């Protein structure tokens, strides 16, 4: 076969390639730049969310609320959104959050079936079934259901088509008595392979369980590492966990090490597969709540939404890199950003957890914590962080956690809001910003309501979100950034009971409901025969 024949075959093959596949760059840098400028954002086509096991307490109830904002393509009939129960191969007596406060041997997630890798233990499936939970019928209208937490499993959910962009599920549990007493809330999260959770504890006064949920049809291999004030906590057992397919495994953190640390940082990494990870923190005296993962390590951190009546706040910071971090601490209040007295700066050693008590830092006004590089020579060091917030005093205390939260690029949603008790906090760390806040219709009907707000740079705006017109039942609140600088947000839900100021705070990172898609073009330069 001569060279001419080979060249013709190669040209035909290349032509088929460039006409059948989008070329992301052209034949020159100018073409590439034009293509990048022409990129458009399109709605995502599929979303996955994971909800951890709520509780095994007999004196609790859980409300689930699911919602997809009404956007482009909402009138289409394509798509579904629903959740199915995950398997929970553990015995009820080892489940966290029950009346025993989780006082078991904590070995679930470790070696229950004899091979040391089953992640789970005993082989019993939790009450479940094939009946979908919270199927959505139309975007723009939330659906809700209540279940007894004593039998409520973890949930694995998928939304596609018109229901995928911005799909949000909120899980809110009330435990009326016992050491886990309190209001526990979490937004169900997308699976991933890497999580940082500063603010966990292996102290005797705490029972912290990390819930690992695997949405896939193959087992996931997960490593758990704990870091305290002096560095890595020495492991007392194998830190590797196998999470069976489409299952959830809770692991008591104090069983991973013999060292006790009031404040520590947990690193969850999946060596194979992917999981959802959230920590249920139960304090013997100060209630309980979910601690979600921090935003990815960053040189500047925002922790939005400290309540105005917070009686104490404990900041936990971890530097995962090879260098120490020197941070400037500021409190962004309603009018300006100030430096908390006695906490102007913070030094965090590499690989070590640093915790400081800020007391009643807000002094009766709502605020947000901002951590930025202290300055000096050399590049800034990324950190992860979380804040433990307490409301009330004495036996009437209740706690919640606020992790470092990424900025809202386009929109974010909190699904479960009530006619009373919801507070939305927005902070603009640098430049001023404009946002639109929309209350959806209620689960029992009504019409959406939208309002526009300005947030001054360096301040926090705490407000009662709009309510749907003539709506009944839980409703969703969506925050859209319209212009200006970055905005970070959280939502507090407060439901006081018997004098206890029960509350939970959910951060609102961007919902990633759209993706950038470059304009496709042909690159005929591939046909050149040198």
Q: pLDDT tens digit string along 206-243?
A: 999 999 999 999 999 999 999 999 999 999 988 799 99
Residue that has been written with the tokens 């970055």 in this structure: 486
- For residue 16, the surrounding DSSP H or E stretch is helix 3-20
User: How close are the terminal C-alpha atoms of the chain, in Å?
Assistant: 18
The pLDDT tens digits of the residues spanning 7-35 come to 433 444 333 333 333 333 333 444 444 44
C-alpha 67/C-alpha 515 separation (Å) is 20
Mean pLDDT for 408-434 is 96
pLDDT category at 458 given cuts 50, 70, 90 is very high
> Are 482 and 434 within 8 A, CB to CB?
yes
Of 475, 476, 462, which is closest to residue 428 (Cα–Cα)? 462
Q: What is the pLDDT of residue 75?
A: 60
Of 450, 432, 431, which is closest to residue 440 (Cα–Cα)? 450
Between vectors from CA 435 to CA 388 and to CA 419, what angle results, nearest 5°?
A: 65
Taking residue 482's Cβ as centre, other Cβ atoms within 10 Å add up to 13
Whether the predicted pLDDT of 407 surpasses 90: yes
Whether the predicted pLDDT of 315 surpasses 90: yes
pTM of the predicted model as reported, rounded to 2 decimal places: 0.85
Dihedrals φ, ψ of 527, to 5°? -85, -5
The residues near 474 (Cβ < 8 Å, ≥ 6 apart) are 63, 65, 142, 144, 415, 416, 417, 418, 442, 443
- Asked which of 77-91, 165-179, 248-262, 350-364 is least confident by mean pLDDT, the reply is 77-91
Whether the predicted pLDDT of 530 surpasses 60: no
The pLDDT tens digits of the residues spanning 345-390 come to 999 999 999 999 999 999 999 999 999 999 765 689 999 999 999 9
Mean pLDDT for 433-443 is 97
C-alpha 223/C-alpha 218 separation (Å) is 17
Residue that has been written with the tokens 């009437």 in this structure: 396
Taking residue 93's Cβ as centre, other Cβ atoms within 10 Å add up to 12
**Residue 472, both tokens:** 């009944």
Q: What is the pLDDT of residue 300?
A: 96
Per-chain mean pLDDT for the chain: 85
Residue that has been written with the tokens 């959802």 in this structure: 276
Whether the predicted pLDDT of 495 surpasses 50: yes
Q: How far is Cα of residue 76 from the mean position of the Cα atoms in its chain? A: 29
Q: What is the pLDDT of residue 37?
A: 55
Under DSSP, is residue 33 helix (H, G, I), strand (E, B) or coil?
helix
Q: What is the pLDDT of residue 74?
A: 54
Of 372, 359, 522, 470, which is closest to residue 20 (Cα–Cα)? 522
C-alpha 185/C-alpha 176 separation (Å) is 14
Whether the predicted pLDDT of 119 surpasses 70: no
pLDDT category at 527 given cuts 50, 70, 90 is low
Of 184, 176, 161, which is closest to residue 64 (Cα–Cα)? 184
Q: What is the pLDDT of residue 71?
A: 81
């Amino acid at each position: 076969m001569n060279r001419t024949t080979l060249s013709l075959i190669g040209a035909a093959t290349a032509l088929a390639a460039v006409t059948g596949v989008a070329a992301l760059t052209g034949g020159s840098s100018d073409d590439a730049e034009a293509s990048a400028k022409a990129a458009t954002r399109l709605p995502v086509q599929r979303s996955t969310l994971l909800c951890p096991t709520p509780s095994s307490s007999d004196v609790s109830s859980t409300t689930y609320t699911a919602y997809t904002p009404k956007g482009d393509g909402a009138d289409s009939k394509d798509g579904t959104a629903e959740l199915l129960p995950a398997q929970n191969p553990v015995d009820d007596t080892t489940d966290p959050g029950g009346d025993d406060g989780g006082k078991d041997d904590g070995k679930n997630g470790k070696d229950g079936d004899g091979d040391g890798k089953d992640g789970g233990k005993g082989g019993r499936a939790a009450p479940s079934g094939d009946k979908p939970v919270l199927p959505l019928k139309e975007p723009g209208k939330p659906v809700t259901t209540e279940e007894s937490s004593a039998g409520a499993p973890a949930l694995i959910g998928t939304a596609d088509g018109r229901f995928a962009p911005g799909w949000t599920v909120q899980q809110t549990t009330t435990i009326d008595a016992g050491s886990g007493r309190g209001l526990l809330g979490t937004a169900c999260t997308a699976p991933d392979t890497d999580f940082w959770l500063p603010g966990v504890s292996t102290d005797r006064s705490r029972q912290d369980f990390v819930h690992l949920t695997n949405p896939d049809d193959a087992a996931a291999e997960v490593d758990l590492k704990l870091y305290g004030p002096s560095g890595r906590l020495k492991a007392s057992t194998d830190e590797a966990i196998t999470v069976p397919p489409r299952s959830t495994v809770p692991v008591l953190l104090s069983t991973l090490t013999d060292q006790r640390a009031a404040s520590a940082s947990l690193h969850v990494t999946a060596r194979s597969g992917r999981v959802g990870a959230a920590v249920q923190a139960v304090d013997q005296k100060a209630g309980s709540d979910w601690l979600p993962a921090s935003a990815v390590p960053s040189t500047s951190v925002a922790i939005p939404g400290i309540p105005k009546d917070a009686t104490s706040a404990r900041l936990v910071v971890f530097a995962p890199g090879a260098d120490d971090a020197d941070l400037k601490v500021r409190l962004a209040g309603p009018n300006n950003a100030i430096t908390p007295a006695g906490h102007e700066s913070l030094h965090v050693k590499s690989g070590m957890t640093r915790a400081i008590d800020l007391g009643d830092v807000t002094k009766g006004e709502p605020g947000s914590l901002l951590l930025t590089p202290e300055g000096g020579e050399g590049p800034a060091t990324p950190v992860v962080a979380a804040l433990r917030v307490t409301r009330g005093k004495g036996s009437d205390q209740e706690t919640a956690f606020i992790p470092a939260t990424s900025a809202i690029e386009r929109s974010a949603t909190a699904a479960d809001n009530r006619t009373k008790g919801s507070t939305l906090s927005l902070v603009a760390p640098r430049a001023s910003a404009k946002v639109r806040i929309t209350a959806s219709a209620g689960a029992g009907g009504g019409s959406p309501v939208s309002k526009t707000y300005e947030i001054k740079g360096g301040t926090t705006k705490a407000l009662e979100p709009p309510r749907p017109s003539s709506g009944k039942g839980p409703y969703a609140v969506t925050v859209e950034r319209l212009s200006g600088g970055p905005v970070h947000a959280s939502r507090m839900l407060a439901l006081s009971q018997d004098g206890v100021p029960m509350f939970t705070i959910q951060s609102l990172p961007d919902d990633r409901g759209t993706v950038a898609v470059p304009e496709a073009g042909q690159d005929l330069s591939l046909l050149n025969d040198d």
